[in-house]
Structure formats: C-alpha cells, structure tokens
Structure 1
Amino acid sequence: MEKFTSKKKDIVFYGVFFCVIFAIDRELKGMKKISIKEWAEEDRPREKMMLKGVSALSDSELLAILIGSGNDKESAVELCKRILQKAGNNLNKLGRFSVNDLVTNFRGIGPAKAITIIAALELGRRRKSEGAVNRKKITSSDDAYAVFYPVLVDLNHEETWALLLDRSNKVVATLQVSRGGISGTVVDIRLILREAISHYASSIVLGHNHPSGNCTPSAQDTAISKKLKEAARWMDISLLDHIIVCGETYYSFADNGMI
C-alpha cells in the first residue's frame, strides 16, 4: 500500500512538473520582440528628433536612425547600444571599426548598414577637421594638436601630415605627406618642401599618429624631424614642431626640446 501511494505521488509530481514546463515553453514561444513602431511616439528616434531636436537623442538612437532596423531579436536601438558597448561607448573607437568588424560581429548589420555608419562617422571627422583648421593660427602645440587630432585619432595605420603656415602662423594649407602601416610610414622630405615653397609658407608643423597609443618618439621620428629641420633651414623655412597624436594625448617635439 505504501509503495502504491509513493508511486502515485511521483506520478502526480512529474505530471505537474511537465505541465509547468510546457506552459512556460508555450509562453516563451508566444513572446516576440517589441519593434520600435510599437514604442510611444516620443520614444521613437525619428519622431523624438522631430519633437525634441537632434540634441535630445542618445548616440545609440542616432545610429539607429542610420541603420533603420535591427534583427529578429533586437530593435535598431538595442542593436546600436550593443555596437557602442563593443566600442567602449566611445565614438572615436567606433570610428576605427571596419566594415568587416561590424558585419562579422553584429547580426543584422550587413555591408550597406556598416558602410552607412562608417560614412557618417567620417563626415563628422571631416567637419571637425575643417573647423579646427579654420578657427585660428597656430601659436602652441595645443593648437597644432587640435588640428591634427580629428584627422589622425581614428586611424588604425600611421599617416603623416604637415601644416604649412604663413608669417602670422596661420594655416595656409594642410598636406598629407604619407600613409603607412601599423608601425611606420615613409616621409618624403622633398614633397613637403616643394609644397611649402609653392604655398609661400614660412614655417611647417609636422604631425603623425601612433595607433598603438604609445607617445614615445621612435628613432625614425627623431631622424625625420632633424632631417626636415636641416633641409628647410636652407630655404629659410622653419620647422616649428612635430606632433605625435596618440589617442587623447600627444607628444610635442618642441615642448620637449627636441627641435
């Protein structure tokens, strides 16, 4: 009798257990992603921008407007939040992502959406760069860094640029001198001087980036500075500084007595 009662209890227990599991499974299957269209109007990125202005939108909402849609599990905003988290919530780091980085790591991001994101970030970089060049003359390493920063900060490879200045230290031209790999680039001194002469420049500020984030000048960096300074001197042109951009900070040859 006791065995029968125990067996009956087991049957009842497992019966209830499987009923609960079945109910939970059915409920989960019935759940679906809430699309942005189902949000309150003031919370949808496009409508929110129309109602409150573009400054009211978060970075993820702005990106969501660019990509238009998410995937079967995430809305566009949720997907963009995850993309930003991958970049440490830093737009400069996001600017270093390639099309392949975005397509490979984020479901719902194809080549077209990835290109749209990268193109938008590039426009922002160019806008900032133009503003920096046009705002004032170069009177310090901070001024030079402000010009080089938007041009170089997002790059995964080394590039060297030159600012050509008039006698008032105003920028008359910006020149991309070279484009290299991750750890170095070749600088043509003759190209810099030719452009300086053609623009009637009185002085030059050289700038390049270290993608590694290490601001320490290499032996090649020092040699290029010395070579350019000596060559320019014969043409009555001064090398005022050489700036190394390494993320949110920089190294100035002039400030450190290297020029």
Structure 2
Amino acid sequence: MENFNKASTSIKNWAEDDRPREKLSLKGAATLSNAELLAILINNGSKEKSAVELAREILQLGQNNLNELGRLSIGDLKKIKGIGEAKAIIITAALELGRRRQATAALEKKVVKTSNDVAEYLRAIIKDFSFEVFAVLFLNQANRINHFEILSKGGITGTVADPRVILKKALDNSATSIILCHNHPSGNLLPSQADKDLTHKIKEAAKFIDIKVIDHIIVSEDGYYSFADDGNL
C-alpha cells in the first residue's frame, strides 16, 4: 500500500523553502536537484522516509546517473520499499518523455548528411533497450527525415524486420529513401551475417519501387556502425 498516514514526512509539512513543488514554482525547475525533481513525481513518502529520501534511493539504484536510471524497469524501481506500482509507472513515464524530447530535438526537420547525424539521433532513442529493436528512418527527396518508426522488437538475441512492412511504410510516408537501423544491446557493433542478409534483401526489394536504402546503422552505448561508411551496402 502506498497511501499511509505520514504527517511527519509529507512535503506539505516541511519548511516552505524545502518543499520541491514550492521551490519549483518560486525559483524554476532548473534550481531543483535530481532528487527534488523525482520527489515531485513520487508525491509522498512512506512511513519511514520522505519523498526526497526515496528519490535519493532511486538515484542510487541508477548509480546516480540519469542515463542508467532510464534503463531501470518498473520491477527494478519497485524493489525500493515505499515505491509501488503507481509511483514506478510515473517515474518510468517521466524518463521516457525526457528521452523522447531529446530524440525529437535531433529529429525535427533534420537533413541527413552523414552517418553520424543519424547515429546521434538513434543513440538517443534506442540505445537503452535491453533487447534488439529494428527501426527505419523515412526520408524525402531532400534527405529530410519525414518519419521515424520502430517496426519490430525482439529478444536479446535478435529481431525480425519484414521488408514488406518496411516498404509499405515507406510508400505511406512518401519516402524516396530509407535508413535501416537497429541496436546491439551486447555492445558489439559489428554486423552479423543475418544483419547483412536482411540489409541486402531490403535493398533489392526497394529497387522495384524506386526507393533507395542509403544506410543501415547499428548503435550501442559504445558508438555506431554504418554499412555505407564501411562499404557494405
């Protein structure tokens, strides 16, 4: 149960200067520590700990690193006494919004010029998955990104991407070229034989509808690999 009678630990009973909500309202979000921002999401503490104390425990679970925190599952968060399903879901949703904001800033009206342009965007949005995901960037004739979509998700050993689905999406989004992309949770950036076979299969199929596959990017926390840069396309 998360709703306890906690007169001594409720944020409402703290000194006004120590209340994260009031501090945010008066001084702005940038003045709050990570723990204080998390405390606002948590809303209230437990019988033993305040919301800020619980927030500090959460940060420690993520090694005091927001990137590591973003990798924690709802189950991981619930291991902390005082964090139930509802609080864990709120925290997870907030972290995902932050990730999407970062990725969207890189995506908006972006013209793709180099593999690094693509990798910068991709690493922001798919590098933290603990399983492989396959996604596609759909570009217009000016190499501007019209659309990005994760098309399949798989286990940690691999994922399957259907060329028919990819090419239908390309037509639906008026794409003249596409960039294939997926992550390697293991950190190994070298393409597997299956990666090479799939790339060739999609490239050949795309030729029949005048859509060009201009690259296939593999990303991990350690960096990226470009089929085009390496002469494998």
Alignment TM class, shorter chain as reference: 0.7 to 0.9
Query: Does residue 63 in structure 1 map to residue 63 in structure 2?
Result: no
In structure 2, C-alpha distance between the alignment counterparts of 1:198 and 1:49, rounded to whole Å: 44
Q: Do the aligned partners of residues 177 and 36 (structure 1) sit closer, same or farther apart at CA in structure 2, a change above 3 Å counting?
A: closer
Give the match for residue 49 of structure 1: 24
Is there any run of 5+ residues in structure 2 with no aligned partner, and where? Answer: 1-7
Give the match for residue 210 of structure 1: 184
Give the match for residue 152 of structure 2: 178
Amino acid at match of 1:233: K
- Asked if structure 1 preserves the Cα contact closer than 8 Å seen for 2:9 and 2:45, the reply is no
CA offset at residue 39 of structure 1? 4.6
Percentage of identical aligned residues: 50
Query: Does residue 188 in structure 1 map to residue 162 in structure 2?
Result: yes
Amino acid at match of 2:208: W
- Asked if structure 2 preserves the Cα contact closer than 8 Å seen for 1:67 and 1:113, the reply is yes
SS of alignment partner, residue 116 of structure 1: helix
CA offset at residue 249 of structure 1? 2.1
In structure 1, C-alpha distance between the alignment counterparts of 2:149 and 2:93, rounded to whole Å: 22
Q: Highest CA radius of gyration, 1 or 2?
A: 1
SS of alignment partner, residue 189 of structure 2: coil
SS of alignment partner, residue 211 of structure 1: coil
SS of alignment partner, residue 136 of structure 2: strand
Amino acid at match of 2:224: Y
Q: Give runs of aligned pairs for residues 80-119 of structure 1, distance below 5 A.
A: 80-103=55-78, 105-119=79-93
Give the match for residue 137 of structure 1: 111
Q: Which has the higher contact order (CA 8 A, sep 6+)?
A: 2
Give the match for residue 21 of structure 1: none
CA offset at residue 140 of structure 1? 1.0
The farther-off stretch of 92-101 and 155-164 is 92-101
Give the match for residue 75 of structure 1: 50
Q: TM-score, normalised by structure 2?
A: 0.88
**Could you tell me which of 161, 169, 174 is aligned with 1:200?**
174
**Could you tell me which of 216, 220, 232 is aligned with 1:242?**
216
Give the match for residue 3 of structure 2: none
CA offset at residue 37 of structure 1? 5.0
**Could you tell me which of 96, 118, 124 is aligned with 1:150?**
124
- Asked if structure 2 preserves the Cα contact closer than 8 Å seen for 1:162 and 1:175, the reply is yes
Give the match for residue 124 of structure 1: 98
Q: Do the aligned partners of residues 89 and 215 (structure 1) sit closer, same or farther apart at CA in structure 2, a change above 3 Å counting?
A: farther
Question: Which one has a larger percent helix, Structure 1 or Structure 2?
Answer: 1
SS of alignment partner, residue 120 of structure 1: helix
- Asked if structure 1 preserves the Cα contact closer than 8 Å seen for 2:35 and 2:56, the reply is yes
- Asked if structure 2 preserves the Cα contact closer than 8 Å seen for 1:45 and 1:57, the reply is yes
SS of alignment partner, residue 60 of structure 1: helix
Give the match for residue 137 of structure 2: 163
Cα deviation code 1:52-103 (max 9, x no counterpart): 1001111111111000123333321122112112112222322222222111
C-alpha RMSD of matched pairs (Å): 2.0
Amino acid at match of 2:27: K
CA offset at residue 160 of structure 1? 0.6
Q: Deviating runs (4+, > 6 A) in structure 1? A: none
In structure 2, C-alpha distance between the alignment counterparts of 1:112 and 1:203, rounded to whole Å: 42
SS of alignment partner, residue 89 of structure 2: helix
CA offset at residue 165 of structure 1? 0.7
CA offset at residue 176 of structure 1? 2.4
- Work out the number of aligned pairs and report it: 226
- Asked if structure 2 preserves the Cα contact closer than 8 Å seen for 1:92 and 1:153, the reply is no
